[in-house]
């Protein structure tokens, strides 16, 4: 028995106590590190979402109303069917809806109380016109064929696809139409056809006026080598619930299916810099409701964008975060998400001096 040695009960209890103290410290360190990591990750995602949202919207706002050379104060003609529809009203470069409340014709369904932005502009490099147009087609530079440029195995000619809505413009006038056919002549030009698709045709929206221009036609309908053909589109930005059930920033191009861009954008409020004196300087910032009532979207020179972005995960903060958005302070948002407000004022290039 004298050779059998061990530890006493007191020593065992002391060891357990010391071990518990050490484990408590390790657990606290782990929990603290995990909380810090979760918070930092939430901050990074919120900042990235806000930065990308501003980048997407700012890019299109800057280009609002762009139609090539002399984008402002040119003689504009829209030959499309339904030219007053939201997707095809290309004479209005920028438009919006204030505090969405219920379905509005043409506008997407947004989150109640948020704003909707609609921007219309030409986009892409465009292609030059090689000679004066005739009554049914324009003659554009042949810059090559992409066998799958239009998707689904459909080729594009000079970057254009059959069915594209296009603008042809010089420094005095512009004309909107839809390409109903593209013909490769095997030479230096391609034929961009806009005939044969008046009301009742197979393309959407189709051309209400399918024949214009020509050697003996109205000079205002003729476009020669000093002209350019560019794709043109209407882009809408709005906030709605995403696939996860959380609010997201959405984008809709023309009448295509909308695209969920960024999860976590909870609210979007817009005011528009309005020039009321004709000096090309914004005199005041007003809501879309004011401009819709006055029908004065042509006076808009800039847009002030305010976004509320939240973390996708809840419980990233120790307690609920109070925040101020659009002049209103919310002290108890009902969760422990991280939120940040992003502000930016974006000028419309074609309308500023």
Whole-angstrom Cα distance, residue 345 to residue 271?
9
Give the per-residue pLDDT at 8: 74
Burial label for 185, CB within 10 Å (0-12, 13-18, 19+), is exposed
CA pair distance 57, 63, nearest whole angstrom:
10
pLDDT tens-digit readout, 58-87: 999 999 999 887 666 678 899 999 999 999
Q: What is the pLDDT of residue 279?
A: 92
Q: Tell me what pLDDT residue 87 has.
A: 95
Beta strands in the chain (DSSP E): 75-78, 94-97, 116-131, 137-141, 145-146, 156-157, 165-169, 173-178, 181-184, 189-193, 228-241, 247-253, 259-263, 265-274, 284-286, 300-310, 323-325, 328-330, 339-347
Is residue 74 exposed (0-12), middle (13-18) or buried (19+ Cβ within 10 Å)?
A: middle
Q: pLDDT tens digit string along 117-158?
A: 999 999 888 899 999 999 999 999 999 999 888 888 888 999
Residue found under tokens 């120790």: 318
* Cα separation, 9 vs 322, whole angstroms: 53
Q: What is the pLDDT of residues 298-312, one digit of tens each?
A: 999 999 999 999 999
Predicted local distance difference test score (pLDDT) of residue 303: 98
Among 186, 193, 133, residue whose Cα is nearest residue 166: 193
Residue 329: closest CA among 346, 341, 313: 341
d(CA 263, CA 246): 7
d(CA 260, CA 270): 20
Q: Which residues of the chain have pLDDT under 50?
A: 198-200
* pLDDT computed for residue 71 by the predictor: 66
**Cis check: omega of the bond before 39, within 30 degrees of 0:** no
pLDDT value at position 217? 73
Q: Which fold has domain 127-232?
A: Elongation Factor Tu (Ef-tu); domain 3 (2.40.30)
Domain ranges for the chain, please list them: 44-70+97-117+235-351, 127-232
What pLDDT is attached to residue 28?
Answer: 75
Q: What is the pLDDT of residue 199?
A: 46
Q: What is the pLDDT of residue 201?
A: 58
What's the N-to-C CA distance of the chain in angstroms? Answer: 103
Answer yes or no: pTM beyond 0.85.
yes
Q: What is the DSSP letter of 52?
A: H
- Cβ–Cβ under 8 Å, residues 175 and 212: yes
């Amino acid at each position: 028995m004298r050779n059998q040695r061990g530890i006493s009960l007191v020593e065992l209890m002391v060891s357990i106590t010391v071990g518990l103290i050490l484990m408590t410290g390790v657990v606290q360190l782990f929990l603290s590190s995990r909380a810090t990591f979760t918070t930092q990750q939430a901050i990074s995602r919120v900042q990235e979402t806000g930065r990308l949202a501003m980048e997407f919207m700012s890019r299109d706002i800057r280009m609002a109303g762009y139609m090539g050379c002399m984008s402002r104060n040119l003689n504009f003609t829209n030959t499309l069917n339904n030219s007053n529809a939201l997707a095809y009203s290309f004479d209005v470069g920028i438009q919006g809806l204030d505090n969405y409340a219920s379905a509005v014709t043409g506008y997407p369904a947004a989150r109640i109380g948020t704003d909707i932005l609609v921007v219309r502009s030409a986009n892409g490099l465009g292609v030059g016109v090689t000679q004066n147009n005739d009554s049914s087609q324009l003659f554009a530079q042949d810059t090559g064929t992409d066998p799958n440029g239009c998707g689904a195995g459909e080729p594009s000619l000079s970057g254009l696809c059959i069915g594209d809505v296009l603008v042809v413009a010089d420094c005095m006038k512009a004309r909107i139409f839809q390409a109903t056919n593209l013909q490769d002549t095997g030479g230096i030009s391609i034929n961009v056809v806009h005939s044969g698709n008046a009301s009742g045709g197979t393309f959407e929206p189709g051309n209400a006026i399918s024949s214009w221009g020509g050697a003996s036609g109205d000079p205002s309908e003729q476009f020669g080598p000093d002209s350019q053909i560019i794709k043109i589109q209407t882009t809408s930005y709005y906030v709605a619930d995403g696939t996860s059930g959380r609010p997201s920033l959405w984008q809709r191009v023309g009448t295509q299916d909308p695209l969920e861009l960024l999860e976590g954008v909870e609210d979007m409020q817009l005011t528009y810099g309005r020039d009321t004196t004709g000096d090309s300087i914004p005199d005041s910032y007003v809501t879309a409701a004011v401009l819709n009532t006055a029908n004065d979207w042509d006076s808009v020179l800039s847009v002030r964008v305010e976004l509320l972005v939240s973390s996708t995960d809840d419980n990233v903060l120790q307690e609920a975060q109070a925040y101020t958005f659009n002049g209103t302070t919310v002290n108890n948002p009902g969760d422990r998400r991280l939120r940040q407000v992003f502000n930016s004022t974006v000028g419309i290039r074609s309308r500023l001096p």
